[in-house]
Amino acid sequence: MLLLLQATQAADSVQVAADKLIVQTIANAEGLDKLSLITKQLVDFGIRAGERILIAVIVFIIGRFLISILNKFIRRLLDRRKVDISIKTFVKSLVNITLTILLIISVVGALGVETTSFAALLASAGVAVGMALSGNLQNFAGGLIVLLFKPYKVGDWIESQGVSGTVKEIQIFHTILATGDNKVIYIPNGAMSSGVVTNYNTQTTRRVEWIVGIDYGEDYNKVEQIVRDILAADSRILNEPAPFIALHALDASSVNVVARVWVNNGDYWGVYFDINKAIYETFNEKGVNFPFPQLTVHQGN
């Protein structure tokens, strides 16, 4: 592409000199000769414009082909070196955007626009564009911070900015999450790097907690033993740290019993829902009553 652009620019310099000569000839001509020269000049201009457009199309097609090859090469190189998937998605996004910008500049140059003046125009508009894109620059810096300090990586389940989901990609401006109901959420990297992020996959184990209400008057020791037996029957619950059961609070309409256990990360929701079901069924079998809100009304005489 560079050789083609250099050849085009050399031809342009020659054409400029020829155009000056033709302009002088037209100025000196009269009548039909002048009209004929003007017509010839217009035809030549149309031919040159067609040539420029054709060259620009060729540059674009070749450029897209080269970008595709370079993207595949970068992807294979990153795969061969076993680079972390979070860094891979970021680098691929950055390389693709950079190459696309270079292609646009090449196409503009092929159309006959001076790339030096084009660059000067970009430089003069840099301050305004920088202010307009300050948010995106912050997101770009935020992406670098995320990749450097790794508060999360692709595949982690995180919670941030009021949403939670699995990290699918870390791009140069956004982190892409997939929620539990299969929604795709784009969160700016600036907010991710400066805000609170809860990562549920950093540790290998998690604590599960249940707070179960029982009627006043129920035998607490009996209830504690029932809960302990339910927990002991589930092999997914870890023995260390040991399960914890205690009387949590004397509430307005119930006596609350708390149970806390530790499980492996992947077993969290399965244990949580299964123990809920087991407590409900076993309490009914053992005659342990669940409370409901009650209100005592005294009628005066």
Taking the C-alpha atoms of residue 10 and residue 20, their distance in angstroms, rounded to an integer, is: 16
pLDDT reading at 121 higher than 80: no
Q: Rounded to an integer, what is the distance from CA 283 to the centroid of its chain?
A: 46
pLDDT of residue 120: 63
106 vs 154, residue with greater confidence: 154
Domains detected in the chain: 2-82+95-121 (no CATH), 139-199 (2.30.30.60), 205-286 (3.30.70.100)
Distance CA 273, CA 161 (A): 26
> Percent of the chain having pLDDT more than 70?
76
Integer CA distances (angstroms), 51 to 92, 111, 112, 218, 296, in order: 34, 9, 10, 93, 94
d(CA 255, CA 29): 109
Asked if pLDDT for residue 288 goes beyond 70, the answer is: yes
pTM over 0.75: no
pLDDT at 251: 87
Least confident of 39-43, 183-187, 241-245: 39-43
